[in-house]
Amino acid sequence: MAAPGKLSTCRLPPLPTIREIIKLFRLQATKQLSQNFLLDLRLTDKIVRKAGSLANAYVYEVGPGPGGITRSILNADVAELLVVEKDTRFIPGLQMLSEAAPGKLRIVHGDVLTFKIEKAFSESLKRPWEDDPPNVHIIGNLPFSVSTPLIIKWLENISCRDGPFVYGRTQMTLTFQKEVAERLTANTGSKQRSRLSVMAQYLCNVRHIFTIPGRAFVPKPEVDVGVVHFTPLIQPKIEQPFKLVEKVVQNVFQFRRKYCHRGLGMLFPEAQRLENTGRLLELADIDPTLRPRQLSISHFKSLCEVYRRMCDEDPQLFAYNFREELRQRKTKKKEKQDDAKSYRL
């Protein structure tokens, strides 16, 4: 591990192109893993530039694949680059880069969804949450199949200030399907407004930096790709437990075309649904005929605060799941039908 604070410039020697690496190691994108390779180093350089100054920084790259973004990061004078790659086929090509940049590149064969990044870098890099972001960055061209669960996981880490955020307000520069990028950054009232919009924006400053056309990737995906930058906020806009916020937001948006009271009602058992939904909306001062996309972060803040008080009054309320209640009702109905058939026989 490079010593924090020691500035060292690095420019990679001449290497085979990414296209040549793919041929050399007979690499093919795996459809099941939603893999798409970005071969144009001008675009990978742009992604890295948009992450901010990486001179003497410690960078965690997720899903490096054949190493396009990896090269651009190494050429940005980083102190150390840690890459986590699940697919063993890419390891030899990454090892070639490691040999070209001695002491700069650490390769881990593992899964980004389970990798413990909080122990990967020196304790000396940690900064108080109220300070400027630490000299630690996350960068990645995420496979489409893991991008949403991974950003939700990291948002929860931000809320708890653990995982990659034990170092402070670690910044992230990540790729998503353009539609997902638009959802992450959608304003109140926008047609793209979604669960992701609220969950990301109550915890982070989120910017859709630029769009990469699908034709820039190999194989060409059916959609364009958005590059999104996240900076965790010093103070979250909703100061409630992540799981509580997530439950309220999920319930609201599961009926995104209905009035908001429809989804909010699913927070409560059927027997008390009408009464408790009315009480929630009244105490939160929310118009029940607003659509989910019309609800601002301030609206969700009020809803979460009132729902939290209702959960404190009834400790069993938070554990309630309307889908489980529906499943049990269907099971009982089937049992009655089976009993009736048995009786007739």
Alpha carbon distance 74, 134 (integer Å): 19
pLDDT at position 39: 81
Asked whether residue 226 is marked as a ligand-binding residue, the answer is: no
Identify whether residues 138 and 265 lie together within a single domain: no
Q: Let me know if residue 168 belongs to a domain.
A: yes
Give domain status of residue 194, yes or no.
yes
- Same domain membership, residue 165 and residue 99: yes
Is 276 known to sit in a ligand binding site?
A: no
The verdict on residue 12 lying in a domain is no
Known binder of ligand: residue 63? yes
Per the CB < 8 A criterion, the answer to whether 251 and 300 are in contact is no
- What does the pLDDT read at residue 33? 43
85 among the known binding-site residues?
yes
- Report the number of distinct structural domains present in the chain: 2
Q: What is the dihedral of CA 171, 177, 178, 180, to 10 degrees?
A: -70
Residues 6+ apart with CB under 8 A from 152: 199, 246
Query: Which residues constitute the domain of residue 125?
Result: 18-232
246: domain CATH number is: 1.10.8.100
224 and 257 co-located in one domain = no
Residue 145 lies inside a defined structural domain of this protein: yes
Question: Residue 152 domain-assigned?
Answer: yes
In a domain, 343, yes or no: no
253 and 173 in one domain?
no
Q: Do 25 and 92 meet the contact criterion of CB atoms below 8 Å apart? A: yes
Q: What's the CATH number where 215 sits?
A: 3.40.50.150
Shared domain check, 149 and 44: yes
Check whether residue 62 and residue 114 sit in a common domain.
yes
Same domain? 178 vs 250:
no
88 and 114 fall within a common domain = yes
Q: Is there a domain that residue 157 lies in?
A: yes
pLDDT at 24: 60
232, 254, 270: which is the final residue of a domain? 232
Among residues 95, 77, 74, which one has the least CA distance to residue 85? 95
Give the residue from 179, 212, 232 where a domain finishes: 232
Judgement on whether residues 177 and 315 belong to the same structural domain of the protein: no
Identify the domain boundary among 232, 253, 269: 232
79 and 145 belong to one structural domain: yes
Flag whether 10 is in a domain.
no
Largest CA distance in the chain: 85
38 is in an annotated binding site: yes
Q: Which residue ranges in the chain fall short of pLDDT 70?
A: 1-11, 13-14, 16-35, 332-345
Question: Could you tell me the pTM of the whole model?
Answer: 0.88
- What's the pLDDT at 219? 76
45 annotated ligand binder:
no
User: Is 213 in the same domain as 108?
Assistant: yes
Residues 38 and 154 in one domain: yes
Task: Quote the CA–CA distance of 339 and 150 in Å, as a whole number.
Answer: 46
